[in-house]
Structure formats: structure tokens, C-alpha cells
Structure 1
Amino acid sequence: MILDDFITITPAGLYCVYGDFYLDPQQAVKQAVVSHAHGDHAIGGSENVYCTKPTATFMQHRYRKFAAVDFHLKGYKEVFKIKEVEISFYPAGHILGSSQVLMVYQGVKYLYTGDYKIEFDPTCEPFEFVNADVLITESTFANPETIHPSSIDEIKKFNETRSNIMLGAYALGKSQRIIHLLNENCSDKTIMVHHSILPFVKIYEQYGVQLGNYKLYDRKAMKNNQEQQVYIVPPMVFHSYHKAINVIRVFASGWKNLQQQNGISLYISDHADWNAVLKTIDKVDPKQVWTLHGDGKPLKEYFKDRLTVKILNP
């Protein structure tokens, strides 16, 4: 029997009372199961953190000694228990080390996707479809109006200009994917990386991910070469240099509002779009779908009278 209160939303985050643990907690807790290392899913300070090895490495870089009291590193498909709940991780395809969390209790399978994408991305482990009774899915872009274009077609837009480009991208995950895409599809470009992004790039390489050529940002080189330079910066730097001259401004995101006033639109998202969410539901074949991190109403309407869709967002 599916338990409606298996996962509940609390001030500290998603809580499983039957295992007394939190999924991606927003406050330091005793038992934290962490899907991936982005800051809105992985905070520092919890007592016990269960995650993949890359996720722990990213957290240790970001939070240093405050990352966790103890890490419990788990490989994909390795089964472990917290109280009476069996847990295992499966690749989520979001960033390196990102995981879906399969939880089994009293014979019922609950699958928490975390953030995910099913599009091919050689910089992280590919998404794996897992059968479950309840699919707890992010719904960031779960809207029929949101269909992401090909990331390769998007990055090839850079070949249409010789001008230098200032490219805003999240330091973890997006930047490494962009570096690889540029190397594979825009061979005439010189890739420069902001110093705050470089440690994450090195961690990717430490785990055997081949991103291709890049170098640390050189102000003099950027100034003296007015063509074919792509300078990748984190969002804060991108927004602080909103009047930067002699560059085309670009921001890599699936959000339309982040494309406004930029010289080139770059719709590259690391989240599942409408079609990907529908495909995931079809492959997982759940009895119920619970939605998070977005608007679940379009899914509820789409599956009306066919599948139970519960919106967990407060």
C-alpha cells in the first residue's frame, strides 16, 4: 500500500518519517540523503550524509570541514538501509555524481528523481530509468510549452560570430558541459575559465571526464584578442559586468527570462523538459506521480482520470 505520508515537506526539507532521514535537506540534520551537489540540494553541516563519491568531493570543496560530520559514500545500485527503508542510488544525468534515490519500504518503491535530464551528456553518468510505484519528480520545466532544443544546435550558434563572448554558466555542471560542447562543436574558439570555476573543472577531470582544451582567464589575452575568445564566468560575475564592452553577452539556461538582453540566446538546460518528464513517467510506469520544484498543475491536468498526480509543493 502506498503511504501518502512517506515523504512530507518540513521546514528542514523533504522528510521520510519511516526512515527518519531527509532528502536534500535545506538545514543541517542528523541523516541526509543527498542527490547531488548543487547548493539548493546540498548544504553543509549535516551529521551523516549519504551520497555518491563525486557529490561528496564537490561538497568538501565548497564547504571544507563543514561539509558533513561523516560521509557515507555509496555506488550506484548499492543497497543500504536507514532504519527499515532500503535505499539505492541510480544515475540522474543532471551533473557528475547526481542521483535518483530509490526507496523501498514494505514492498513499495518510491523513486525521488532529484534534478535530472535524460538528454545525452558525456560529462556525467547517463540517466537510468527505474521502475517504481511512486515517482517523485522535479517539475521545473514540466509544461507543454517548454521543449528544449538540441544542446549541440544551440552551441553551434557560436560559430556564426567571430566576436569575443562572455558566457554566464553555473560553476558546477553547466560550465563543464559547456566546455565539452565548445571543444566538440566550436573548434575555432579559445575557451577561458573564471578562477572560481576551475576547481570544479579539475574535479571532473579527477574523475576521468575529458572536457577538452581550456585555460584560466587571462585579462591581457582577452583584451589583446578581439575575436574567437569565449570567457566562461559564474552568474554573479556575469550580472556584475552587465556593461562589459567588446563582448557578446550569453547566458546558458533553459529559462526564457535569462535570455533577455543577451546577444545570443543559449537554451541549454540540465533539467527535464515536458517531453522528457512524460517519457520518464512512461518508462517508470508508476501508480502515482508526486511533483516538486515547479508547477505540477500541467501534469495533473494532462493525466486527469488516468493517473494520480499529487503536488507536494507547499
Structure 2
Amino acid sequence: MSTLLADFLVRKPEGYYCRYGDFFIDASNPVMHNVVSHAHGDHASSGHDYVYATHATSLFMAYRYKQNRKDSYQVKLFNSPFKIGAVEITFLPAGHILGSAQILMEYRGVRYLYTGDYKLQADDTCEPIEVQQADVLITESTFANPDISHPDPAEEIKKLDGHASNILLGTYVLGKAQRITDLINRYCPDRKVLVHSGILPYHRLYDQHGLKKLDYEPYNRREMKQGEQNKVYLVPPMTFNSYFRATKVLRAFASGWKRLQAQNDIELYISDHVDWNDILQYIKMVNPKEVWTLHGDGSILKRYFNEKLIVRDVLSA
């Protein structure tokens, strides 16, 4: 019988480390071998000798970290196993953003599945999540709380049509902004999407390498002020916060966090993470012997399963 290794993946200052293959996952500081789940800044960083990532993730990283050597990227296809040391690794779609991957690791007959950030909700702008069973599920726990339930994104985005005004909409530049654009295109077709210069390069990368074309225009001050009051201006978080004196617009921020909805004119609960019920559903689908948690508080999940399933944080080295 294969032995499940409690220290297969551990938390170190540089990131999550697998000593059995001598590689890191989503390292925040420079390392020799870094396997990257997706291109958000809290998972992807610069300065590594070798970066293992999907094609889209490598493109986003190459744009953001221009100082990286081009030959550092080891681009891997979904569902195409490769080895680092003695560990076989396979990227599986995570459904979070374009190119986002779960990292399935197999060692001595045991399967360890690191989710990265993931979601079960439909999203036409990225690859849908793929489920495979594993002995250990290593899951993010950003919203691992039964009080949190993400509503239907289509119904949320339709809130924008209930107001005869231009809208200033705060959104994260990669993944969320493109999903929001697609949702507006589909469910609020009379709304015109204007995109801040900080978001525009990622929209263009999605257009060139993504799954569908988005309908939007670069932000133009005159366009925003003239004509119909049907514009939705997508801006990064810092820009959104700096526009607190903006007039003749309604404010909204697309997020699953309640605190980011405070003092806005429109609440817009759209998240690219799993909520409590999604996590429970995913555990059932993966059917692991153990669940290891990271990127959040897994204590409620541990209490929920009690003695029925081992749930714990990833160990520190």
C-alpha cells in the first residue's frame, strides 16, 4: 500500500516546497524550480531560474515581469505530464482565470492535487475546471465559511442595467476585468465597456490568446462625458480608490468580499473563487483521504468534517 507523506508539500518562506522533487509551487521569492498555478501577483513572481506554467500564464508573466529571461519559461500543456525529479506533474484547468492550473503531483503511487485558486462557476473567458480524484486535496480556503455564498454572476451583472447613469466599476486587472467585460457584453448589451490603460494590455492578451473576443473600447474622457449615460468604465483597485470624488457616476466594485461593497452605489458580488458550498462539492468530487488547506482559514472546514475526514493546514517546514 502506498504511503501518504504528511510533508510532501510544506510551507517555507519562499513558498510551498516539495522536497521529493526539489521544486516550489507559487514561490514568492526567487528559487531554482518554480511551478506556477496562475499569473496573479500573489502566486506568480519574478527572478526564478525555471518557471513551469501554462502558455497563457507564461504570457501574462512575461508581460508583467519583463526582466525575466525568456528561456526561463518551461511552457506545459494541460493534461501533459512532465517530471521534476521523481515527481510527475500534470496541469489541470482550474477555472479561475485564463491559463490557471491545478497542479496534480504523483509520487510513489499517491496523488496530491494542489488547486491554486479555482472556481466552479461557469466563465466563458477561461478554461472550465477539470476534476480528477486524488488522495490529498490541497485547497485554497479564501471563502471557506458557511456564511459566504456567491450569487449567480449573471443576475449580479444585470444590476448595472437598473441605473440610468455611467458606472465606475473597480475590478482586478487580470481575469476579473475580462470576465466582467464578457458578462456585460452578454447580459447588459446596451452598456458600452470602457477600459482603463492599466487593464487594456490584459484585454488585448485575452483577445489574442483567449477563448473569445471581448467588446470594449479604451477609456476616452470625452466619450465618458458625452452621449448616452450607458458607459461602464473598468478601473484597477487603486484607481477606483483615488476616484472617490468622481461625480456623475455610480460606483461599484466586483468582488466576493463584503467589505469592498461598503459605501458603493451598487453591490456587485462577483468572485473568481469557490465559496463554502463549492468547496464542499469539490471535496466530494475529488474524494480525497485528506484535505490540506492554504490561502485562508481552514479551521471552520476542519470543524465541519470533525473526525469524518482529516482536514489541516499545510505544514510549515
Write the distance in 1 (CA, Å) between the matches of 2:69 and 2:26: 13
Contact conserved, 2:197 with 2:218, CA < 8 A, in 1? yes
Aligned residue for 2:301? 299
CA-to-partner distance for each residue in 1:57-76, whole Å, 9 max, x for gaps? 00000011326651111101
Aligned residue for 1:41? 43
CA-to-partner distance for each residue in 1:216-249, whole Å, 9 max, x for gaps? 0000111224611100001110011111111101
Please state how far the C-alpha of 1:208 moved relative to its aligned partner.
4.0
Aligned residue for 2:255? 253
Instruction: Give the 3-state SS of the residue equivalent to 2:253 in structure 1.
Output: strand
Aligned residue for 1:240? 242
CA-to-partner distance for each residue in 1:170-194, whole Å, 9 max, x for gaps? 0000000000000000011111000
Q: For structure 2, which runs of at least 5 residues remain unmatched after alignment?
A: none
Percent identity between the aligned chains?
A: 53
Please state how far the C-alpha of 1:196 moved relative to its aligned partner.
1.3
Please state how far the C-alpha of 1:106 moved relative to its aligned partner.
0.8
- When residues 110 and 68 of structure 1 are mapped into structure 2, their CA distance, relative to the original with a 3 A threshold, is farther
Aligned residue for 1:230? 232
In structure 2, give the amino acid aligned to 1:298.
I
CA-to-partner distance for each residue in 1:117-163, whole Å, 9 max, x for gaps? 01110000000111000000000001111110000000000110110
Aligned residue for 1:102? 104
Instruction: Give the 3-state SS of the residue equivalent to 1:293 in structure 2.
Output: strand
Please state how far the C-alpha of 1:313 moved relative to its aligned partner.
7.5
Is 1:159 matched up with 2:177? no
Please state how far the C-alpha of 1:45 moved relative to its aligned partner.
1.0
Q: For structure 1, which runs of at least 5 residues remain unmatched after alignment?
A: none
Aligned residue for 2:198? 196
Aligned residue for 1:171? 173
Write the distance in 2 (CA, Å) between the matches of 1:170 and 1:313: 30
Instruction: Give the 3-state SS of the residue equivalent to 1:128 in structure 2.
Output: coil
CA RMSD of aligned residues (A): 1.2
Please state how far the C-alpha of 1:210 moved relative to its aligned partner.
2.0
- When residues 240 and 89 of structure 1 are mapped into structure 2, their CA distance, relative to the original with a 3 A threshold, is same
Contact conserved, 1:253 with 1:266, CA < 8 A, in 2? yes
Write the distance in 2 (CA, Å) between the matches of 1:17 and 1:298: 29
Contact conserved, 2:134 with 2:287, CA < 8 A, in 1? yes
Contact conserved, 2:255 with 2:269, CA < 8 A, in 1? yes
CA-to-partner distance for each residue in 1:57-111, whole Å, 9 max, x for gaps? 0000001132665111110111100000000000000000000000001110000
Aligned residue for 2:85? 83
Instruction: Give the 3-state SS of the residue equivalent to 2:129 in structure 1.
Output: coil
Question: What is the total number of aligned residue pairs between the two structures?
Answer: 314
Is 1:2 matched up with 2:4? yes
Write the distance in 1 (CA, Å) between the matches of 2:69 and 2:179: 25
Is 1:142 matched up with 2:144? yes
| TM-score of the two chains, using structure 2 as the length reference | 0.97
Aligned residue for 1:62? 64
Contact conserved, 1:48 with 1:68, CA < 8 A, in 2? no
Instruction: Give the 3-state SS of the residue equivalent to 1:64 in structure 2.
Output: coil
Write the distance in 1 (CA, Å) between the matches of 2:194 and 2:54: 29
In structure 2, give the amino acid aligned to 1:59.
M
Instruction: Give the 3-state SS of the residue equivalent to 2:203 in structure 1.
Output: helix
In structure 1, give the amino acid aligned to 2:292.
W
Contact conserved, 1:148 with 1:273, CA < 8 A, in 2? yes
